[in-house]
A and B are shown apart, each in its own frame.
Chain A
Amino acid sequence: MSRPPEDVLLEINGLRTYFFTEEGVVKAIESVDIIVYKSETLGLVGESGSGKSVTALSILGIVPDPPGKILDGEVIFHGQDLRKLSDSDMRKIRGNQIAMIFQDPMTSLNPVFTVGDQISEAIMLHQKVTKKEAKEKSVKIMSLVGIPSADERVDNYPFEFSGGMRQRVMIAMALSCNPELLIADEPSTSLDVTIQAQILELLKATSEEFDMSIILITHDMGVIAEMCDRVAVMYAGFICEIGDIMIIFKSPYHPYTRGLLSAIPRPDAQREDLQIIRGAIPNLINPPSACRFHPRCDYHMLDLCEAVLPELLEIEPGHSVRCHLYTEEGKAWMAEKGEKRVIGAVTRGIVG
């Protein structure tokens, strides 16, 4: 399901972000290509250390520098490359057209200012309004995100809110300037399931109301299934697979996506159905060559997967996979060597 080019809101091509640390160069993002369409929710899923959050920071141009540096790639938002914008132009977009919410609302709210001050600050920064109008707007947006008696709560400090309410404040702040794109980095991970359901529902409702696109970063396949229209699976700095959620959950193509989906309890699963992905996520200072998943892969094709990086190949409209199982080289290799392909995987059995 591919949508026309005029529907594209954000396009990321060949993004590469490294961190130059004392221990060595952490190759956090090697190649990320994502398209976000207007008013859709795109899930970004992967294990910790797969580069999900760094992708988000790279989009907004707030990778901590030093040690981080975006080396390559373009981030095209509304036809303009955000990486080429000046700092002051970027600041006009950040928080205004692209907003972000973080996993831990307590660390991203300032403890010594009232939440009203903090929401008003964002409004006044991007819109020409008086302080009073900004506060009125804060109250309005706080009641919109479901904070009861918002006109009183606007003068409270962050510590006076519960975890779920704090996350609502963060969402209120992000929504205050009517962004076209909201990047939600694990917005519900630290919350209880009952509160998580409320926050996700709120995000869903506001995205429809404001006609807003969301990039939802999470490691929870359940959240992805509940929330998203499309999903991008990340592993060690690469997008492995990206496509419509119905297709990915029904018939995943990439071995890593398959592994992820069989490692979680599905609705009708039995104890025996839980599968393991062998090994652990690699150290990104010295990552495996070519396809970084090959040491853990059940379909590892000896001397191909570790030598040649597979292309991100569109196998059907709107569904792309980066794996040699579907490339011409891979097919040629298999025709030639056949069943030998799994030997490498078995001998490398490592316990996670």
Chain B
Amino acid sequence: MSGADSFIDKLQERQQQKGLLADRIRTKEMGEDVILDVDNLRKFFDIPVPFETTWFMIAFVGAIVVFAFEQLIGLILVGAIIVLYFALPYIPPFNKRPKVAHLKAVDGITIKIKKGKIVGLVGESGCGKSTAAKTIIRLHEPTSGSVYFKGIDINRLTSDEMKEIRRHLQIVFQDPYASLNPRATAHDIIIEPFDIHGVASGDEASYRVLTLLKDVGLAPHHAYRYPHEFSGGQRQRLGIARALALEPDFIVMDEPVSNLDVSVRAAIIQLILELQRKMGLTYLFIAHDLSLVKILCDEVNVMYLGRIMEAGTSDEIFESMMHPYTKALISAVPIADPTKRSKKIFLTGDIPTPINPPPGCKFQTRCPLVSDVCRVDEPPARWYSAGHVAYCHNIEGGHENPDFFNQ
């Protein structure tokens, strides 16, 4: 055993005793105070240090230093580029980059929905009907504006408070198949709201599921079927049952019958009406089938490009509409009576993109009555009865103040 080995053994022993990771040791050797580390150790015990190793180490450390220095320059360069990239758009003359575009899907709408009424929201595809409805029940957060439900501003509520309110705000979607979990049975789908809100559990919950199935015209044996085993109409009934589970006050019907066949459609409409009568529900009914809206809704809002164009009772909108867009839209609806082939109003022109709509009236590009003022100013509200309002520069009559009709 060489001196070096015994020394290293001693070192390890010391480490274990003290629990330290010592790599040096101070010792008295021939009257001299010597600090031993591994390199000194080698000298002390006359072990030759390999020459190559030393130079290799120097070269290696040198390379690292040079590399690090280069990296530093690189880092500074990259940092500068990043800073410039973000800063340049704000430094003239480079600040002409367009800002993030905002698609104004719903652009300032006001709707009042009275308890127990069916309120229609109609318009062409892409006009913002569904976005508006989803914002109303806070599935989207509005950019600005507020939604009051029973006098409560729901956009100010915390998520816990919102959960409580959400029981009363439900939605039925257009495509029943897409909105039902394909791996859950009808029973699971309807019982889920009970679980989430802790309303009922166990046998009571199951009993209520069966009652709900009965309410929407399904049979108890349907409870353990999966969505794909139902027909289109039955699936929509299931969607309605889920919406009804928590006994809501207000249901958004987002085109609930658009995907259904004519005969099934009538049955679902009958169901929706029957439930409303029985449970005193309030609906916001979104549709593009205007002949259906006409007979179904108490009040109708006509939307175009994120704005309300005209609103009023069903009779006012369908019999004495004022706005040129409403007139064109309603005249375009095919009437199921060959003796009443109507004269159509054809809209020409393109629908402007909602990302950068023109100033003034949104309808100006297709309006048959368009004049210069429409391209500059937004049309004012003109009231034709206490509930009938239209936004247009170029229509006659009406009053600027709805209070005129209340006197």
Query: Is B334 a contact of A225 with CB atoms below 8 Å?
Result: yes
**What 0/1 readout, one digit per residue, does chain A (264-305) give for beta carbons within 8 Å of chain B?**
111101110111110011000000000000000000000000
Please tell me if A156 contacts chain B, counting CB pairs below 8 Å.
no
The interface size bin for chain B is 35 or more
Is B291 an interface position by the 8 A CB rule?
yes
Q: Is A242 an interface residue (CB 8 A)?
A: no
CB distance from A150 to the nearest CB of B (A): 15
Asked if B335 and A226 make an inter-chain contact with CB atoms under 8 angstroms apart, the answer reads yes
In the complex, which residues of chain A have a beta carbon less than 8 angstroms from the beta carbon of B292?
Answer: 265
Q: Given A193-B288, A201-B344, A274-B295, A266–B329 Cβ distance below 8 Å?
A: no
Q: Mark B237-270, 1 if CB is under 8 A from A, else 0.
A: 0000000000000000000000001111111011
Q: Judge if A32 is at the interface, Cβ distance under 8 Å.
A: no
A193 touches B329 (CB 8 A): yes
Nearest residue, chain A, Cβ from B219: A351
Given contacts A193-B290, A194-B329, A351-B218, A225 and B338 within 8 Å (CB-CB): yes
With contacts A219-B262, A264-B266, A280-B233 taken as known, whether A271 is within 8 angstroms of B334 at the C-beta atoms is no
Task: Give the contact stretch, choosing among A79-87, A255-263, A332-340.
Answer: A255-263
- A193 touching B333, Cβ below 8 Å: yes
Chain A interface extent, by class? 35 or more
Residues of A within 8 A of B337 (CB): 225, 249, 266-267
Query: Chain A residues with Cβ under 8 A from B264's Cβ?
Result: 280, 352
The answer to whether the Cβ of B100 comes within 8 Å of any Cβ in the partner chain is no
Complex Cα distance, B265 from A260, in Å, reads 11
Verify A274–B266 contact, CB threshold 8 A.
yes
User: How far, in whole Å, are A220 and B261 apart by their CA atoms in the complex?
Assistant: 10
With beta carbons under 8 angstroms apart, the residue of A224, A246, A262, A265 that contacts B294 is: A265
- Chain B residue at minimum C-beta to C-beta distance from A223: B334
Given contacts A47-B262, A194-B347, contact A267 B340 (CB under 8 A): yes
Chain B residues proximal to chain A, CB less than 8 Å = 124-125, 217-219, 231, 233-234, 261-267, 269-270, 273, 288, 290-292, 294-296, 328-329, 331-341, 344, 346-347
15 contacting pairs across A/B (C-beta < 8 A): A47-B262, A194-B124, A194-B332, A197-B334, A222-B291, A226-B335, A250-B339, A263-B263, A264-B266, A265-B336, A269-B295, A281-B261, A351-B217, A352-B263, A352-B267
Q: A residues touching B (Cβ–Cβ < 8 Å)?
A: 47-48, 192-194, 196-198, 200-201, 219-226, 228, 245-246, 249-250, 259-267, 269-271, 273-277, 280-281, 351-352
